[in-house]
């Protein structure tokens, strides 16, 4: 999977060749040796060697002579999956020492992205059928017909069974036809949360083994890098709405604090159990227990942001429209909390750029390994990695970071580590501001959506400055492993824009009910824990006929994700919600 076959044909009589490769995605990396190609045995008789090459990113191939250690040629090429290629190395003519290198396609590659198109069409078709069915059921003619059919069948059943009375069936039909009063809960928030959770489950199960559904090796973004921050963001929004409601209804801040603390501890402990599944075989071993994790970070972030809200939130939300600071009241009214957030971000910047790390440059943000031309191979993550290894120990953090494959890092590094949790708190606090906007401008849809867009625009400008609009050359690159400042401003920008879209379509215009994402959003913790615990069981995983097929992996991962969406729908219908 994600490989092609490369056949090297060497017509050089006196040169054994050394083949090296370098991925375009690997920033400032050293060439890696792929193998050697023997010299040609005689005139017109090329030697050959066959290698597997990666197809995820374009590659640069380098051919050096082992005799003189000089570079003979360099080729930049983008290979496609399961294609067969030939690379010919020959002299231009018998008298010239000029070398030519050319790649030819021997066998056409497969279209590895075709399964995605098929899956998209299938799900689009299902969504269209559901939408058409919902539209038809909303028509008075169809609805009245269904009611008449239901009443006729019920009457026949009662006559045949000689049980009950017609008055009961009439009463039942009246209750069935009565419209349900709409709730006060914003469906767009649960839809946003559910969308993040569904994508998170899909990428955690493998994402069809496509590279863009895996986490980025270091700097940059893929689909997999979007969803966890969005979940953190919408958690902050929910904190604002829930605690504000509790305070308005007379709950004491101290009592709410103990509830928040208990919930945070539960999230932390559940997270430790989920990411250390060997507890099924016996007591957890402290020697290899991983401490950081997704739920652990959610628990600490929830605690920090909820405490800020309890300390500085207002019990009454009186809107002062004639004050000069009215357009920014969600900022001005909570300036002490903002000072705390700015102080936290200052701590992150100081530790990241000023903390001395042994044998590493100050402010190092690279992956180590073969990155930065191999100068800082043991400096993975800079200060963030050093703090985790120092405080938690190498055996208690993630052992196989995403930088391992591309950058060949040897150091353990945890993407949910201690230093990055500071920026997780900042991102949740940005989500808290979205909640403040919803509270202060309640039912003023235009003002709410305008502020969502303003926040998204401001955060986008900050990201552009920090990154210089590049992947690797900015002051602070976008990096999910580090949870860098530009990462949270970029994802915060995306989150405000996405929240604007869902709020407009779900709660304002009501063009969309939020289904099917609304249902997992209502039971997010239960669905997340369940997908982790049962990941290796049928129907979420089964033995494949061809484990090298994107189509089979995509089918398995989509089925597993769809099953969890169905489970969440059934739980919703049964009114089962797991709250901690």
Residue 43: inside a domain, yes or no?
Answer: yes
Residue 358 resides in a domain: yes
pLDDT at 130: 83
d(CA 83, CA 388): 43
Q: What is the pLDDT of residue 179?
A: 35
Residue at 579 is within a domain: no
| pLDDT tens per residue, range 334-349 | 889 999 999 999 999 9
231, 307: one domain: yes
Residues 336 and 479 in one domain: yes
Q: What is the pLDDT of residue 287?
A: 74
Q: Is the pLDDT of residue 464 over 90?
A: yes
193, 195, 196, 197: CA torsion to nearest 10: 80
For 97-146, how does the pLDDT look when each residue is reduced to its tens digit (9 = 90+)? 678 888 999 999 988 899 999 999 999 999 888 888 877 877 777 777 77
pLDDT digit string, tens, across residues 227-240: 999 999 999 999 99
Q: Do 342 and 313 have their domain in common?
A: yes
Same domain, 237 and 135: no
222 with 310, same domain: the answer is: yes
Q: What confidence tens digit (pLDDT) does each residue in 11-29 have?
A: 876 778 899 999 999 999 9
Instruction: Output the pLDDT for position 278.
Output: 63
Q: How far apart are the first and last CA of the chain?
A: 41
**Residue 408, in any domain of the structure:** yes
* pLDDT 10s digits, 517-536: 999 999 998 999 899 888 88
- The model's confidence at residue 458, banded by pLDDT at 50, 70 and 90, is very high
Q: Does residue 167 share a domain with residue 92?
A: no
| Catalytic choice (76, 215, 404, 445) | 215
pTM (2 decimals)?
0.88
215 given a catalytic annotation: yes
Same domain, 366 and 411: yes
Residue 439 shares a structural domain with residue 297: yes
Say whether both 495 and 430 belong to one domain: yes
What lies within 8 Å, CB to CB, of 341 at 6+ separation is 308, 425, 426, 429
280 confidence band (pLDDT: 50, 70, 90): low
Output 297 or 318, whichever has higher pLDDT: 297
pLDDT, position 363 = 93
Mean pLDDT of 375-400: 92
- Scored b (16 or more CB within 10 A) or e, 249-275 reads eeeeeeebeeebeebbeebbebbbebb
Per this entry, what is the length of the chain? 580
280 in the same domain as 259: yes
| Within-domain flag for 46 | yes
In a domain, 580, yes or no: no
Q: Would you call 299 exposed, middle or buried from its count of C-beta atoms within 10 A (0-12, 13-18, 19+)?
A: buried
pLDDT of residue 183: 41
Query: DSSP secondary structure string, 122-158?
Result: HHHHHHHHHHHHHHHHHSHHHHHHHHHHHHHHHHHHH
Residue 154 has pLDDT above 60, yes or no: no
The domain boundary, picked from 107, 125, 158, lies at 107
Asked whether residue 267 falls in the same domain as residue 150, the answer is no
- Could you report the per-residue pLDDT of 347-378, keeping only the tens digit for each? 999 999 999 999 999 999 999 999 999 899 99
More confident residue, 153 or 40: 40
pLDDT for 161 equals 45
pLDDT reading at 325 higher than 70: no
Do 166 and 228 share a domain, yes or no?
Answer: no
The C-alpha atoms of residue 5 and residue 83 are separated, in whole angstroms, by 6
- DSSP string for 67-120: TT--EEEEEEE---TT-EEEEEEEESSSS---EEEEEEEEEPPP-TTHHHHHHH
Q: What is the mean pLDDT of the chain?
A: 86
Distances in Å between the Cα of 44 and the Cα atoms of 8, 9, 11, 47 are 15, 11, 7, 10
Determine, yes or no, domain membership for 182: no
For 553-566, how does the pLDDT look when each residue is reduced to its tens digit (9 = 90+)? 999 999 999 999 99
Question: Residues 501-527: what's their mean pLDDT?
Answer: 92
What is the rounded distance in angstroms from the CA atom of residue 273 to the CA atom of residue 275? Answer: 6
Q: Which of 79, 107, 135 represents a domain boundary (last residue)?
A: 107
Q: How would residue 579 be classed by pLDDT, with cut points 50, 70 and 90?
A: confident
Q: Specify the CATH number for the domain of residue 85.
A: 2.60.40
pLDDT digits (tens, 9 = 90+) for 405-456: 899 998 999 999 999 999 999 999 999 999 999 988 888 899 999 999 999 9
| Residues paired with 53 in a beta bridge | 4
Q: Tell me what percent of the residues of the chain surpass a pLDDT of 70.
A: 87
pLDDT of 94 reads: 59
Residue-number span of the structural domain to which 127 is assigned: 114-177
Domain total in the chain: 3
pLDDT tens column, 250-262? 889 999 999 999 9
- Cβ–Cβ contacts within 10 Å for residue 276, how many? 15
Domain final residue, candidates 139, 159, 177: 177
pLDDT tens for each residue of 163-214: 443 333 333 333 333 333 334 578 999 999 999 999 999 999 999 999 999 9
Q: Tell me if 490 is assigned to some domain.
A: yes
More confident residue, 572 or 139: 572
pLDDT score for 67: 75
């Amino acid at each position: 999977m994600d490989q092609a076959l490369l056949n090297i044909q060497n017509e050089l009589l006196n040169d054994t060749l050394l083949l090296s490769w370098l991925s375009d995605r690997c920033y400032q990396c050293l060439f890696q040796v792929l193998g050697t190609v023997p010299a040609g045995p005689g005139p017109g008789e090329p030697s050959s060697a066959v290698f597997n090459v990666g197809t995820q990113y374009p590659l640069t191939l380098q051919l050096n002579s082992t005799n003189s250690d000089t570079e003979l040629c360099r080729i930049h090429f983008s290979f496609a999956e399961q294609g067969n290629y030939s690379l010919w190395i020959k002299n231009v003519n018998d008298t010239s020492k000029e070398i030519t290198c050319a790649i030819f396609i021997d066998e056409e590659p497969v279209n590895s992205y075709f399964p995605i198109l098929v899956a998209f069409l299938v799900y689009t078709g299902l969504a269209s059928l559901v939408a058409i069915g919902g539209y038809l059921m909303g028509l008075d003619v169809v609805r009245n017909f269904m009611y008449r059919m239901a009443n006729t069948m019920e009457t026949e059943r009662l006559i045949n069974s000689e049980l009950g009375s017609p008055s009961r069936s009439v009463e039942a039909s009246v209750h069935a036809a009565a419209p349900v009063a709409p709730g006060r809960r914003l469906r767009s928030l649960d839809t946003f949360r559910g969308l993040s959770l569904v994508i998170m489950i899909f990428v955690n199960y493998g994402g069809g083994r496509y590279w863009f559904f895996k986490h980025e090796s270091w700097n940059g973004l893929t689909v997999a890098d979007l969803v966890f921050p969005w979940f953190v963001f919408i958690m902050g929004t929910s904190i604002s709405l829930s605690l504000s409601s509790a305070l308005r209804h007379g709950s004491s801040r101290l009592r709410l604090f103990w509830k928040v603390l208990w919930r945070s501890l539960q999230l932390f402990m559940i997270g430790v159990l989920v990411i250390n599944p060997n507890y099924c075989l016996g007591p957890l071993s402290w020697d290899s227990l991983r401490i950081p994790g997704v739920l652990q970070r959610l628990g600490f972030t929830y605690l920090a942001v909820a405490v800020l809200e309890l300390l500085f939130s207002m019990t009454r939300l009186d809107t002062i429209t004639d004050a000069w600071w009215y357009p920014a009241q969600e900022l001005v009214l909570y300036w002490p909390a903002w000072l705390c957030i700015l102080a936290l971000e200052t701590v992150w910047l100081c530790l990241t750029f000023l903390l001395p790390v042994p044998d590493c440059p100050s402010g190092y943000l690279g992956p180590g390994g073969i990155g930065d031309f191999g100068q800082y191979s043991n400096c993975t993550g800079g200060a963030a990695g050093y703090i985790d290894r120092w405080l938690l120990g190498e055996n208690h953090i993630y052992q196989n970071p995403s930088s391992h494959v591309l950058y060949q890092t040897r150091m353990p590094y945890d993407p949910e580590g201690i230093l990055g949790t500071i920026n997780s708190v900042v991102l949740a606090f940005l989500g808290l501001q979205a909640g403040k906007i919803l509270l202060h401008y309640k039912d003023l849809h235009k003002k709410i959506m305008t502020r969502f867009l303003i926040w998204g625009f401001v955060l986008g400008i900050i990201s552009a400055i920090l990154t210089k609009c590049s992947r690797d050359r900015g002051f602070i690159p976008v990096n999910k492993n580090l949870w860098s400042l530009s990462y949270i401003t970029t994802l915060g920008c995306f989150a405000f824009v996405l929240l604007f879209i869902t709020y407009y379509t779900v709660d304002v215009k009501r063009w969309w009910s939020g289904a099917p994402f609304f249902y997992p959003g209502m039971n997010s913790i239960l669905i997340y824990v369940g997908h982790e615990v049962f990941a290796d069981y049928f129907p979420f995983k089964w033995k494949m006929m061809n484990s090298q097929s994107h189509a089979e992996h995509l089918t398995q991962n989509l089925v597993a994700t769809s099953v969890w969406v169905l489970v969440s729908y059934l739980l919703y219908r049964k009114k089962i919600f797991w709250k901690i």
